[in-house]
Amino acid sequence: MQTTYRLSFCLFFALFLLSGCVEQPTNTAADQAKTDELIAQGAQGIAVAIAGYIMEDLEAYKSFAAEVASYKAAYEGKEMPIDAYQNSAYYKKMQSYFTTIKEHSNAKYIYTMRRIDAENTEFILDGDAVGSEGHSPPGSGEPIGQWEELCFTSKKPVRSDREEYEQWGELICAYAPIFDEDGETVLGIVGVDVEVPR
């Protein structure tokens, strides 16, 4: 129970940091750097709190991830179709949790992913509405980025610099590892992306 309170406090504090700094215009490079640091801290706090929440019910996460892997194995590596996961109680619970966090922060994207080989990751959970343009279905993949790689290898939370993405805009991203019961094996990572003003 104490862990839940601690995670709730961390999430509240991260949301507090993140909610007040994205909309503020910056006048100087120093202002921009301070704002970016606050955004990155808030995003990282949210990622850590979500990873902690997932680890409180780790068996449910592992079970859903196993469903994704089984589907891909049975259907030659294809991502899961919407009807294969949208009614999963666990997926709906986590998507609702991610949506609530997004509504009370400036997080644009919240998701989890796991490494599938040295160069690629696949999504497990996603906070965007099923079928929406920003939604990444379970099992859909992308090449691993430098910040995701750093989170997987360092086994510590990391945050990116401000980066421009053609598809998603200008973002600061934060990642936190999801550990197995042994506290050492990284099963996946939580990603929190925040759109930042120019």
Q: Provide the residue type at 52 as one letter.
A: G
How many other CB atoms are there within 10 angstroms of residue 57's CB atom? 13
Q: Is the pLDDT of residue 10 over 50?
A: no
Note the pLDDT of residue 25. Answer: 53
Buried residues in 18-30 as b, exposed as e (16+ CB within 10 A): beebbeeebeeee
**CATH no., domain 2-195:** 3.30.450.20
Q: Report the predicted TM-score, pTM, of the whole model to 2 decimal places.
A: 0.84
Tally of CA atoms within 13 A in the half-sphere of 27 that contains its CB: 0
The confidence band for 26, taking pLDDT boundaries of 50, 70 and 90, is low
Domain ranges of the chain: 2-195
